[in-house]
Chain A
Amino acid sequence: EVQLVESGGVVVQRGESLRLSCAASGFSFHDYAMHWVRQAPGKGLEWVSLISWDGGATFYADSVKGRFTISRDNSKNSLYLQMNTLRDEDTAFYYCAKDAKYSGHSDYFDYWGQGTLVTVSS
């Protein structure tokens, strides 16, 4: 059974940094691209970032480019999101999501974690 478990969401002050983690199990983690998708409370979904299966390619939404860094450790079946210079508008549930395509990326998501809440307080 595929499982994605996010952690690291807390209340932080504007301008601070935070690192989110996602522990994956139940599939060959090193064979799939992974994404972060966020959802402000009561709002819609926003794609945030993608990392290729080997970590060699990363992509970001314009809203987080230059502030967030996605990474992965295939030896630990783990995905990360380093979030710097946090803004009020970064307040959201952050979901780790598995790309549906084997050894590539399709940019749609066949499994999602339960999400971790990041609250940026001023």
Chain B
Amino acid sequence: EIVMTQSPATLSVSPGERATLSCRASQSVSSTLAWYQQKPGQAPRLLIYGASTRATGVPARFSGSGSGTEFTLTISSLQSEDFAVYYCQLYNHWPPPFGPGTKVEIK
């Protein structure tokens, strides 16, 4: 079973700054990786699939990259509405594991 880890657990960033979130798989995987954003009291929202494809309606400041065991979500210039928890998830693997999340908080 593949285990996903995310780092850091918490990222403190000032509005307008760049945020880089890391997701790592315990073994090499294909690019079947998704990223979700979850705000307090809300359901998760799909941001990225296929490691780098933005979902419908997702702003261009969100970008995904990576392959093998290392994946990255980058938010180029943080807006106030981007402070949230971000989860990565591997799919096309069974069971589909989520990472533990990275909380992006206001610095």
Contact = CB atoms under 8 A, between A and B. Distances in A.
Interface of A: 44-47, 59, 61-62, 95, 100, 106-115
B44 A112 contact: yes
Interface string B41-70: 011111001000001100000000000000
B92 A107 contact: yes
Q: How many B residues are at the interface, by size bracket? A: 20 to 34
B96 interface: yes
19 contacts: A44-B99, A44-B101, A45-B36, A47-B95, A47-B96, A59-B95, A62-B95, A100-B46, A106-B92, A108-B32, A108-B89, A108-B91, A108-B96, A109-B44, A109-B46, A110-B46, A111-B46, A112-B44, A114-B43
Given A100-B46, A108-B34, A45 B89 contact: yes
Contacts of A107: 91-92, 96
